[in-house]
Amino acid sequence: MDRITLNTPLDMHLHIRDGEMLREVVRYSSRYFSGGLIMPNTIPPITTKEDIFSYRKEILNSIENDIFEPYMSIFFKSSYDSQFLKSVRDDILVVKLYPSGVTTNSDGGVVSVDLDEVGDTLSAMEQLDIPLSIHGETNGSVFEREAEFLPTYELLAKTFPKLRIIMEHISDRRTIELLEKYSNLFATITLHHLAITFDDLLGGALQPHLFCKPIVKSGKDRDALRDLVLNGHPKIMFGSDSAPHPKEKKESSNGSAGIFSAPIVLQGLVELFEKHDKLENLQPFISENARKIYRISPPQKSITLVRKEFQVPTTYGEKIEIVPLFAGKKLNWSLEDV
């Protein structure tokens, strides 16, 4: 096969920041995706109806004529009551919960994910059928943070059985058992957690542009995630977690967490699925599963990739230098048509 067409690809976990950075990076998603779930951890975070409208307007003004639906989210606050949630229900796809301090721009998140603090808000979300998206990590040992959060996922899944809960960017094979156990748990998986391990990050010289949260794990974890995705698990969606930072912020004494992958994720996914002879399962992962889980009808778009060598640039951006995943490497597939 020398050509593959993807129908209505979706990125269900996308950071585009705001201001100048947004204008630099949003086109890499809006050009080749039908829609993306936009994360709300900007500075300041998206917490009001006015914030949602303003952020959506900024995105739409920056994508020119691209067919792209920015699915909006709002930053979880335990003060959200039923009246407020009802007022924003039609303007958002999810409410995104961040434990405080676990990742970029999460300091205003939930200090303790227990029912005394978050139960009333989650109950209102369940009644209004608003999905809950979670960055599921503790502040513990870096390789154990996701596993340490699993009891919280289980508590929420059992307490709110009608609440759709999305475990974002899962990276630890121990999470899979819980995903299988509860019908209201779903997950996103990134390209980088399918492609690289901590040996790529720090096995030789430290590679700061591969530093992300959750941190990339072992080969066994990567292979377990690949098995889920490549075999077409219906509860798994693609979410890039593409998270741009200026080159100088990544290559500093206090390097920022986040991998910028938006320009190369489709090429990388086609290469991965083809290598394992599973191209038939790429379409559900990149689109159909998300449409079913989130009950959405995104605008139709077809993206064609051709078997043609693609040299990944060392940086992207006109005013801000941003280093991408696979910088400087060659991929076997190139984007062709929209």
Q: Which residues are catalytic?
A: 241
Report d(CA 24, CA 322) in Å as an integer: 9
Alpha-carbon gap, residue 78 to 121, rounded angstroms? 6
d(CA 327, CA 122): 41
Please give the order of strands across the beta sheet that includes 302-311.
3-7, 302-311, 330-337
Cα distances (Å, whole numbers) of residue 274 to 1, 50, 287: 9, 44, 17
**H runs (alpha helix) in 142-197:** 145-159, 175-181, 191-195
Quick one: the chain helix, strand, coil %, rounded to 5?
40, 20, 45
Longest CA–CA span in the chain (Å) reads 56
Q: Please give the single-letter amino acid code of residue 143.
A: F
